Chains A and B, each alone.
Chain A
Amino acid sequence: MADRRPDRPDRTLRPHGARTRGSVAPAAATPAYAPVDVDVDVDVVVVGAGPAGSAAALALARAGRSVVLVERGPFPGAKNVYGGVVYGRVLDSVIPGWQDEVPVERWVVRRSTMVMTPSQSVSIDYRSEAWGAPPYNGMTTYRSRFDAWLAARAIDAGATLVPSTVATGLLRDTAGRVTGIRTDRPDGDLTARMVVACDGVNSFLAKEAGLLPPADARHHTLGVKEVLALPPEVINERFGVLSDQGVDIEMLGCTRGIPGGGFLYTNAETVSVGVVVSLPELAASKVRPEELVADVKRHPSIAPYLRGASLQEYSAHLIPEGGFDAMGPLATDGMLVAGDAASMTLAAGLWLEGVNFAIGSGLAAGRAAHQALAAGDTSARGLASYRTDLESQFVLADHQRLRRAPGLVLSERVQQRYPGLICDLADGLFTVTNPVPKPGLVRIARRSARRHGVSLADLARDTLRAARVFR
């Protein structure tokens, strides 16, 4: 088994004479992967060994299909970044007992939503002991470990992982049907009866197939993250948790008015802190992304958690946040898309989920590809069961129900006025003004709304809108 572990970078498969620099020493030089004959004909080529691709490969291999899983990084997860919590219950049906083997940092028992101004904050802080015991709710992890673990499950089921290989384009027959991929390996064409594209947020395969627009900044956010080292006992004390218990804090109002938010979550021996901001608005603001992270770290409600922590890794990644309305078709003749390549990230304010949607869509894509191959019809029509399957479960059901949420969450009042209004409201309620008698609640509310340029009509409208969006 040791020779198949994909969490070890493989030197023998570095075809481009790469040199290594950076703070992390390269792992042992043992070849981690068997050489692969890329000319071999397979049932399905899955592109991208992230959670969507590995889930698709797992489902296909379990169904008895021959699968090649192509990954451009030296190991699965090397190119991937996430922003908080992985919700793993989607794995219950395919990897029973996954909780006992998954590379977890901490199980989240405290979920906090914080709205803030530069000097104030109001939190809704939920803590559950149930979340700290099986079957758990959410976990924190490192993608280099989590993605490698899931890919290893696909390999165990029979899939062949081909790392360090970029899918550079699609192969198509004269009728336009996808028949495989081009890769950057010598003699790199890889033909297959079907392709499942799980090549991430920039998916050039989905773009080439006409399933994604070439560059649509409006529907993307940029996530920027710092991982900061702290001793585990310091993390436990500051966040009020025990050994493997974790905390996830989501923030609104900490991004200088640029639509988006901040996050802070605990790993075993580090904490991860960062922001996620609208791409066009970030560009227009001319603020550098790492300055927004610095703002969060400096905030008086956040800084005490992080004091003395040293930077261990800086990272950034795009997120497809357009939601249901930004999704394109999910299938074309001979090809399916899943995960970020299909804009499956759910960014609905209260709910910020991606990895579980990637896994859910990947599993469904694997099932649909298997059925289409069995039925002998891999045309877009023959693959239509993919969408129906996704609609019948959380992946598209949640997206469809919350399709208006990204618009509301990123709207001007929610982003720029309500955080200050809510903080002022709390201030009015809890600041004791003796000897002046307490003002009434209605007066405080009116005063806070007026101070932040929100009319009662606006408030009523947004309340109604929120009720509809989150119904």
Chain B
Amino acid sequence: MTVVPDSGSWPKISFEARMATVEFRVGARPHITVDGEICRSCTTRACVTACPANLFAPTASGGILFNYEECFECGTCYMVCNHEGAIRWTYPDGGTGVVFRRG
């Protein structure tokens, strides 16, 4: 990693590289499901920016695409969601999901 000596700048790190520092034991079952139909009518879409793992992606057709594989299991998305039933949130199956080594 090249480091810019000026204290103001940091080497740009891609989100993918950022997430690659985290261990995930991806389970077979998606533990969070998103009802794209409900999301279509949502104007706030708080989940899209608030999710620290950046797992919610708006689609061209006005829906929301969600990928459970690299989830921190933090709970931010269902807490900030103001549309009842849009996010069905459970823990991943035992032993799967995120493994923090330096939390």
Contact = CB atoms under 8 A, between A and B. Distances in A.
A20 B1 CA distance: 25
Contact of B95 (A142, A163, A267): A163
Contacts of B79: 215-217, 220, 279, 318
Secondary structure at the B interface, as helix, strand, loop or mixed, is loop
Interface stretch (B34-42, B57-65, B67-75): B67-75
A288 B94 contact: no
A139 to B, nearest CB: 15
Contact of B21 (A20, A163, A220, A313): A313
Given A183-B94, A311-B21, A318-B75, A298 B10 contact: yes
B102 A144 contact: yes
Contacts of B90: 168, 204
A470 to B, nearest CB: 29
B90 to A, nearest CB: 8
A290 B78 contact: no
Contacts of B46: 283-284
Interface residues on B, range: 35 or more
B74 A298 contact: no
Nearest to B100: A315
A227 interface: yes
B19 A17 contact: no
A311 B93 contact: no
Contact of B102 (A142, A224, A289): A142
Given A72-B91, A315-B72, 15 more contacts: A15-B93, A16-B28, A16-B93, A73-B97, A217-B80, A220-B79, A222-B74, A224-B52, A290-B18, A300-B8, A303-B8, A313-B100, A313-B101, A315-B22, A318-B74
Interface of A: 9, 13-24, 72-74, 77-82, 142-144, 163-166, 168, 183-185, 201-202, 204, 215-217, 220, 222, 224-225, 227, 267, 270, 272, 279-280, 282-284, 286-290, 294, 297-298, 300, 303-304, 307-308, 310-318
